[in-house]
Amino acid sequence: MLERSQRGGAAPTAPERVALRGVVGSTEGKVFPLVPGATRIGRARGSDIQLADTGVSRNHAQLSVDAHGRVVILDLGSTNGTFVLGTRVSNEREVRLGSLIGFGPDAVLQLVPGPGEPLAG
C-alpha cells in the first residue's frame, strides 16, 4: 500500500486564525483576534471581549477555539440569549467562518478570518 506522500495527496494545511468582527452595536467595525482556548464575552469588566450593549449579560457567552481553528460557542445562561445565524444557542454549537453571532438584541459579531500566520499545526 502506498503512503500518502507517495500517492501525491495534498499536504495538510495549517489551521486558519479566526477573529470576531463587530457588525452591529458598540463594537461595530472592531476586530477581536481569537486564540486557542476559551474567550469570555459579556458586559463584565473581566470579560475577554467586553460588549457595552444593554441587552448583553455580564457573563454572556464563551467561545472556545481548538488548536485546529474549530470554534464552539456556549451561552452562559444569558438573559437575552446567544444566537448563531438567527437560531438561539441552547447547548454548545460549532460556529463556522462567516456566521453571524447575536448577543442579546443589540450586539452582532461575525466570525471572520483573523490576521497573521496560520496556527501552528
User: φ and ψ at 5, to 5 degrees?
Assistant: -65, -30
User: What is the rounded CA–CA span in Å between residue 60 and residue 53?
Assistant: 11
Q: Which residues contact 5 (CB under 8 A, 6 or more apart)?
A: none
Residues β-bridged to residue 50? 42
- 95 closest CA partner among 107, 81, 85: 85
DSSP 75: E
Residues β-bridged to residue 87? 84
What's residue 116's pLDDT? 66
pLDDT mean for each 10 residues of the chain (121 residues): 44 68 95 96 97 96 92 97 96 96 96 73 48
What's residue 114's pLDDT? 87
What's residue 118's pLDDT? 55
